Amino acid sequence: MQTRNSQKSQTKKTTRPIECRQFMPKLCPKFCCRFGRASVSGTTIIRSGHLTDITGLCYKATMKSEHLKQARLRRGYSQEQAATLLGVTQAYFSMLETGRRKPSARLARNLMRTYGLPPTVLPVSDGLKNVTPDSLAQELASLGYPGFAHLRRSGLRKVNPAEYLLSALTQRDVEARVAEGLPWVVARYPDMDFDWLVPQARMKNLQNRLGFAVTLARLAGGNDSLRQPEQALAESKLAKEDSFCKDLNEPERRWLREHSSEQARQWNLLSDLRPDMLRYV
């Protein structure tokens, strides 16, 4: 009984209060993330059973071994043809389809291109990478965001949507159009790996920002399947008002409190972004 209880134990993580960061749209033409952040001293519960095993990279359903054969047959390839296209032996390819081997990150990317799979099949990393405003915009373009169609170019490297959201939501300053594209990412890829993303967001105190994006995506796109991750994030919602960009002075804070959308208030954020403002969802 003690062993069973220990397996179901919960890991507690103490969070620290973080200063509010954001400013009003009219005060700066370049930055207007519209997103806020909430954090509070206290305890956030993260169920260790839902955390992705770092040694086994996480793939969405379309990259699981039982679906690789289906994806191959949809393209009309034999095992030998697919193995040749991917640059591996037929024996190794057979082990991929039977689950005895997992594809490497490079092979997963080749599988995505060869089978025409969505970027949700790409492996995710627990380590955050260094990003810039330009790289965030280009990666959003690679995911197909219509607002950045002009940034698309041949050879633009796709990223996993879940990992992209985590990287973007971690940034202190996010350019306005990038921030407005985050709910689009959720709406466009509702099958992304929320089992990985939600715990990662909790560990980094990003559940309010992510929850806001999920709520906007659900309401704007009418996708009720997003209620599950939305509820999971709401269970650990943070109470302290905070923001996503630079520090606010008191007049700016008062203005945003008065004009924050219903969805932003739901997630304790200072933001006027509403579902009807999302042009591409």
Q: Which residue has the tokens 């995505």?
A: 112
Q: In this predicted structure, what is the pLDDT of residue 156? A: 75
Q: Worst-scoring range by mean pLDDT, 82-86, 113-117, 202-206, 245-249? A: 245-249
Q: In this predicted structure, what is the pLDDT of residue 63? A: 59
DSSP 204: T
Residue 8 pLDDT > 60, yes or no?
Answer: no
Q: In this predicted structure, what is the pLDDT of residue 261? A: 94
Evaluate whether 103 touches 111 at the Cβ level (below 8 Å): yes
Residue 12 pLDDT > 70, yes or no?
Answer: no
Residue 266 pLDDT > 80, yes or no?
Answer: yes
Q: In this predicted structure, what is the pLDDT of residue 160? A: 94
Closest CA to 113 of 155, 76, 152: 155
pLDDT tens-digit series, residues 132-170:
889 999 999 999 999 999 998 766 788 899 999 999 999
Euclidean distance between CA atoms 181 and 219, whole angstroms: 15
Q: Worst-scoring range by mean pLDDT, 154-163, 216-225, 229-238? A: 154-163
Q: In this predicted structure, what is the pLDDT of residue 123? A: 84
Helical axes 90-97 vs 79-86, angle rounded to 10° = 110
Residues 6 or more apart whose Cβ sits within 8 Å of residue 108: 57, 59, 63, 121, 122, 123
Q: In this predicted structure, what is the pLDDT of residue 128? A: 60
Q: In this predicted structure, what is the pLDDT of residue 268? A: 94
Evaluate whether 249 touches 24 at the Cβ level (below 8 Å): no
Residue 5 pLDDT > 80, yes or no?
Answer: no
Q: In this predicted structure, what is the pLDDT of residue 20? A: 34
Q: In this predicted structure, what is the pLDDT of residue 214? A: 98
Place 89 in a pLDDT band, splitting at 50, 70 and 90: very high
Residue 10 pLDDT > 80, yes or no?
Answer: no
Of all residues in the chain, what percent carry a pLDDT higher than 90?
48
Q: In this predicted structure, what is the pLDDT of residue 6? A: 45
Average pLDDT over residues 180-198: 95
Residue 225 pLDDT > 90, yes or no?
Answer: yes
The whole-angstrom distance between residue 239's C-alpha and the CA centroid of its chain comes to 22
pLDDT tens-digit series, residues 27-80:
333 333 333 333 333 333 333 333 333 223 333 333 567 678 888 999 999 999
Residue 144 CB: number of other CB atoms within 10 A?
A: 18
**DSSP, residue by residue, 89-142:** -HHHHHHHHTTSS---HHHHHHHHHHHT--GGGS---SSPPP--HHHHHHHHHH
Average pLDDT over residues 231-257: 86
Of all residues in the chain, what percent carry a pLDDT higher than 70?
74
Please give the model's pTM, rounded to 2 decimal places: 0.72
